[in-house]
Chains A and B, each alone.
Chain A
Amino acid sequence: MENAIFYIIAGITVAAALMALTVRNLFHCALFLAIAMFGISGVFLYLNSDFLASVQVLIYVGAVTVIIIFGISLTRNMMDERSKAMNHQFLLSVVVAVFLTGIIVAAIQESPFFGSEHPASLVFTTVSSDQAQQPNSYEVSGHLFQNGVSYLAGALLKPENGFAFAFEFVSILLLSALVGAIVIARKDPL
């Protein structure tokens, strides 16, 4: 049952992604992209990443799609029904995309991940008594899970993990992207 729901979500995601990139009306494209992002958030839930799934909904469905809809509204005259949605490379693009996907699938089937049916059962930590006492973890049917938020916060900010500098640096990147986007989109350039 759980597995069936995963395949349904995956099918919806792929179908919505295909629609988002083939439908002519750009507003419909953005809405299909939101559906695809919802599906990817569901896939994240299947990978036991509760925090990242909610971040996916917040950022992609909430922010990026709205920004894209704003962009579509501000560049409006592409909405006329006469113009084609695809450029002259359409057939070549289909060939390239199918070929690329085929290469990746073939590489996966050659890889050592392919043979093992349930690799998850090999690597899950079983609960030991001292681990189960940790405040941010909980146990479901013999497996130890950690609270996603505090787990990721510790991963990012504890100095011994080495991600603290990158975490601070990416905030500078966000600030510079904010300023840069405003400067680029100004009516009178600086």
Chain B
Amino acid sequence: MNNIPLVHFLYLAAILFGVGMFGVLARKNAISVLMGIELMLNAVNINFLAFARYWNWNSLTGPVFVVFVITIAAAEAAVALAIIISIYRHLHTANVDDAHFLRG
């Protein structure tokens, strides 16, 4: 069994979350924004599993939540790409800054 401290998993998850947040905020292309969101969700998954494994070994909740997060992330990716393709068909761009006709 490894003896890596719990906080190192938490640090890794925090850094991945920050990287994903940077991608969501800074990228122009909508697909890159989607990649950033996937990275943030995965950082959360690492946190769930780390706490489940290190705090209560027999806990069911952490892995079960990871299963649900993975499922919902997959559904979200499919719907988001459908929206991006639809936007591209109407506006001929995948740039999130150009799709502002709901701004009012």
Cβ of A60 within 8 Å of any chain B Cβ, yes or no, is yes
Closest-by-CB residue of B relative to A178 is B78
Taking CB atoms, residues of chain A closer than 8 Å to B28 are 83-87
B33 smallest CB distance to A (angstroms):
9
Q: Is the CB of B60 within 8 A of A67?
A: no
Taking CB atoms, residues of chain B closer than 8 Å to A151 are 63
B62 smallest CB distance to A (angstroms):
9
A118 to B1, CA, bound (A): 11
A60 to B45, CA, bound (A): 13
Per the CB 8 Å criterion, the residue count for chain A at the interface is 92
Per the CB 8 Å criterion, the residue count for chain B at the interface is 76
User: Which secondary structure dominates where chain A touches chain B?
Assistant: helix
- Known A-B contacts A52-B63, A125-B57; the reply to A118 vs B3 at CB < 8 A is yes
In the complex, which residues 96-120 of chain A have their Cβ closer than 8 Å to any Cβ of chain B? 96-98, 100-101, 104-105, 108-109, 113-114, 116-120
Taking CB atoms, residues of chain B closer than 8 Å to A7 are 8
In the complex, which residues 43-66 of chain A have their Cβ closer than 8 Å to any Cβ of chain B? 43-44, 46-49, 52, 55-56, 59-60, 63-64
The 6 tightest CB contacts between A and B, nearest first, are A101-B18, A21-B23, A177-B75, A93-B25, A93-B26, A97-B22
Binding site for A on B (CB under 8 A): 1-12, 14-23, 25-29, 31-32, 34-36, 38-39, 42, 45-46, 49-50, 52-58, 60, 63-64, 66-68, 70-79, 81-86, 88-89, 92-97
Binding site for B on A (CB under 8 A): 2-3, 6-7, 10, 13-14, 17-18, 20-21, 26, 29-30, 33, 36-37, 40, 43-44, 46-49, 52, 55-56, 59-60, 63-64, 67-68, 70-72, 74-75, 77-78, 83-87, 89-90, 92-94, 96-98, 100-101, 104-105, 108-109, 113-114, 116-121, 123-125, 140-141, 143, 148, 151-152, 155-156, 161, 163, 166, 170, 173-174, 177-178, 180-182, 184-185, 187
